[in-house]
Amino acid sequence: MKSYEVNFDGLVGPTHNYGGLSYGNVASQSNSQQSSNPKEAALQGLAKMKALMDMGFQQGVLAPQERPDVAALRRLGFAGSDAQVIQQAAKEAMPLLVASCSASSMWVANAATVSPSADTADGRVHFTAANLNCKYHRSIEHPTTSRVLGAMFANQHHFAHHAALPAVAQFGDEGAANHTRFCRAYGEAGVEFFVFGRSAFDTRYPAPQKYPARQTLEASQAVARLHGLREEGVVYAQQNPSVIDQGVFHNDVIAVGNGEVLFYHEDAFLETDKMLAELSSKLAKVGGKFQSVCVPRSAVTVDDAVRSYLFNSQLLSRPDGSMLLIVPEECRSNERVWHYLQGLTGAGGVIREVKVFDLKQSMQNGGGPACLRLRVALNETELAAVNPGVIMTAPLYDSLTQWVERHYRDRMTENDLADPQLLLECRAALDELTQILKLGSVYPFQIN
Ligand code: SUG
């Protein structure tokens, strides 16, 4: 049976802004308080989806969330009408209003961890929504994420959904941003690779000194258990704590994998040789031949990687077995990174082509091409069971582009977030979106 990797991209929501909310994420911190352009952000994301679809890849779309999250503000004690809740929060606790307005759900690599049916004990595709509990503004995403994923992958015969892990730091879980899968073909059993930043319960593991390690070993292990993965089909590795302290807040900022290939920076992991050997032997047991492409620090520094997002690229398989790297514009403007990429694609190895996308609006908050997509490997039958409303087509691209043009503002600052009118605009837009994507009622304002 045919199988595919389907990339579901997060559609940027109408409140996209630079809140400076993510300590440890260099771009988020350094662009704090700049004015943003939600319309441009959404159109940049849609252009990437359309381009990948035009190249023949399977492409889907994941809906944004209702923001400002008035219900979350109510849980923090703000009361009255929706407008009063927003105005009171703006007056008394602006940082909480900003957090409740974040469009951070666009980075759907953090929406969930996904295990394809070939890896799981019950032969279904498993999803665990990420609790994202390292940052308040992200911790409020998972209930809606679960409803949206439930509406997209509704067929219980093929899809199993797990609620987010307990919302405590010991089970900090950031979803697919710290998870990669290696396989010979998408429909065959593979090796799932979980990368954690620290252990919550075992003090033998080192931890970063400056910035938080968002993902714990215990969270990764819990996800593997929930998904019914075989021990032989799983590898755990620890991120190098020193790169977390340099701004690598997720593993997908320093490594990306696809098929039988891991593309990574020399400083990304601890005990790299042991980890590569385990990946290689476990992949061999399911018939695969593991290959690694290491980028030496002498060519590209960790700082270059963090600034350019070289590794936050999408590594995609082409029909001839070679691979294509989708990188952000920032890679072209970094001389060392661009030089490295020219050499890489010219060397006759597996990565043959680089395509550059302008995703500046998202990049300024630390979200590159890979952050914006959730990969779901599906066989033909499973793909047919996905809600067809969320699969990208030329007419859907046109509808979504027009929808953005109609509803989105082209400039947003902190003052705009305090405007109760913004909530009404967002709800009107999202109500229409659920009809375009045929999701039914998934937002708090639609179900309460
Ligand atoms: O969680 N930025 C996101 C970026 C997530 C990137 N995702 C992956 N690497 N997969 C984060 O830090 C910034 C929001 C703000 O500051 O307004 C933010 O949430």
Per-residue pLDDT at 17: 98
Q: Give, using CA atoms, the residue closest to atom 14 of ligand 1.
A: 21
3-state secondary structure the chain: CCEEEEEEEECCCCCCCCCCCCCCCHHHHHCCCCCECHHHHHHHHHHHHHHHHHCCCCEEEECCCCCCCHHHHHHCCCCCCHHHHHHHHHHHCHHHHHHHHCCHHHCHHHCEEEECHHHECCCCEEEEECCCCCCHHHHCCHHHHHHHHHHHCCCCCCEEEECCCCCCHHHCCCHHHHEEEECCCCCCCCEEEEEECECCCCCCCCCCCCCCCCCEHHHHHHHHHHCCECHHHEEEEEECHHHHCCCCCCHHHCEEEECCEEEEECCCECCHHHHHHHHHHHHHHCCCCCEEEEECCCCCCHHHHHHHCCCCCEEEECCCCCEEEEEEHHHHHCHHHHHHHHHHHHCCCCEEEEEEECCHHHHCCCCCCCCCEEEEEEEHHHHHHCCHHHECCHHHHHHHHHHHHHHCCCCECHHHHCCHHHHHHHHHHHHHHHHHCCCCCCCHHHHC
**CA gap 84, 354 in Å, rounded:** 50
Per-residue pLDDT at 174: 98
All residue ranges of the chain with pLDDT < 70 are none
368 CA to middle of ligand 1, Å?
10
**CA gap 377, 431 in Å, rounded:** 29
Residue 179 is a catalytic residue = no
Per-residue pLDDT at 448: 76
Residue 250 is a catalytic residue = yes
Q: Which atom of ligand 1 is nearest to the CA of 17?
A: 17
Q: Are 112 and 78 in contact (CB under 8 A)?
A: no
β-bridge mates for residue 336, sequence order: none
Nearest 5°: CA angle at 114, between 170 and 245?
45
436 CA to middle of ligand 1, Å?
27
Per-residue pLDDT at 90: 98
pTM assigned to the model: 0.98
CB atoms within 10 A of CB 444: 17
Q: Which of 134, 331, 371, 426 is catalytic?
A: 371
366 CA to middle of ligand 1, Å?
5
Residue that is written with structure tokens 């969930």 in the block:
112
Q: Which atom of ligand 1 is nearest to the CA of 250?
A: 9
CATH number at 3-67+102-447: 3.75.10.20
367 CA to middle of ligand 1, Å?
6
Per-residue pLDDT at 332: 98
